[in-house]
Structure 1
Amino acid sequence: MIWSDHNLGGWGWFGMTASMVVIWALVITMVVWLTRTLSDRDHPRRVAPPPHRQTPEQLLAERFARGEINEDEYLRRLAVLRRPPPPKGADPHAHGHPST
């Protein structure tokens, strides 16, 4: 029987050291991943709020403020925007005027 006295030589020590580094890196990676996964359940990721969309009335007011439309046109279009929607099935172009 040959007794090697556990003499691994240079490559043996390198292999053991490299494998221990890989094992510890995997253990640490798994702990970090598990911690992040479990903490994300308690605190959902923050999603950026949707961009602020202006209402049609705000856009109309801006056009009036820039001088793109005059006061009469502003008031006429504002009245159209504030008009209640027609009932379902009604002709949207009738505007409540009797046809002649």
Structure 2
Amino acid sequence: MVDGMGGVFWWMALWGLLGLVLLVLAVVAIFWLVRSMIQPGRPGTDPAEEELRRRYALGEIGREEYLERMTDLRRPPP
């Protein structure tokens, strides 16, 4: 009779562990989705803006030209 109860314990432990893993995966997925919705346009995602930042950092263009071009890039198309 003791052996039968031991098997039930292991099945309960296995299902509990599986539930915990699924819970952790759900929390990570929700965190990832919320983060991607909050920050859809993080700096560095647009290749044109990244190139402009690189050129400004290297001193190839000045501040005024950088700001003017960045404004042009962020302006919606006509």
TM-score, normalised with respect to structure 1 = 0.38
Q: Which has the higher contact order (CA 8 A, sep 6+)?
A: 2
- Higher helix proportion (structure 1 or 2): 2
Compute the TM-score of the two structures, normalised by the length of structure 2: 0.47
State the structure with more CA Rg: 1
